[in-house]
Structure 1
Amino acid sequence: MNIKNIFLGAMALSMISGVALAGALDEPANMAPFFTDSSMKTMKSEADFKAAWASMPKDKQDMMMKECQDAAMSKPHAEFCANLVTYAGNR
């Protein structure tokens, strides 16, 4: 019985912490408007990037900007964050 409870507790903890680690930059729904393809390899032009940013709710904009300013969070999204700071950073 104790092993079962320990296992269930560990599994629940890992699920909760996994959700906490995923940020706005890791959600495809947030990132898709900035890319031309479904694989999210090719970013849109400057004008389209700015338009996608302008159409995004302010709370999502704030989350994305915050994550881009965090070196650890932005590392996998370096090119995107560079464009975000350049094109949309001035709001």
Structure 2
Amino acid sequence: MNVKSICLGAFALSALSGVTFAGVLDEPSNMQPFFTDAGMKTMKSDADFKAAWGAMSKDKRDAMKKECNDAAMSKPHAEFCVKVHQLGGNS
């Protein structure tokens, strides 16, 4: 086989697989409504969190629920996922 083709194929595969690791919980624009600060360190109150959750599209909420139910994806967002589960996201 051509070495150039093998390298190109390996690069394409790694690029595609890298995209799958980034999820909806890793997208700052999706997470910002749930935090009080720009650095996203302090979560909003339960009432404000619930209001932000309700304002999101069902597709985004479903994607967040799915990622929060995945142990590997939810680990870096544990505090957020606890609140998602409190809102019924663990179903």
TM-score, normalised to structure 1's length? Answer: 0.87
1:1-91 alignment, distance < 5 Å? 2-86=2-86, 88-89=87-88
Percentage of identical aligned residues: 69
Distance 1:17 1:43 in 2: 31
Letter in 1 for 2:80: F
The number of residues matched between the two structures is 89
The 4+ residue runs of structure 1 with deviation greater than 6 A are none
Letter in 2 for 1:59: D
Tell me by how many angstroms 1:13 deviates. 0.8
Distance 1:3 1:39 in 2: 45
**How big is the alpha-carbon RMSD for the aligned residues of Structure 1 and Structure 2?**
1.6
CA deviations 1:24-76 (Å, max 9, x no partner) are 11111111111111211111111110111000000110110111111121111
Unaligned runs of 5+ in 1: none
Distance 1:39 1:6 in 2: 41
Letter in 2 for 1:48: D
Distance 2:24 2:18 in 1: 14
SS in 1 for 2:83: helix
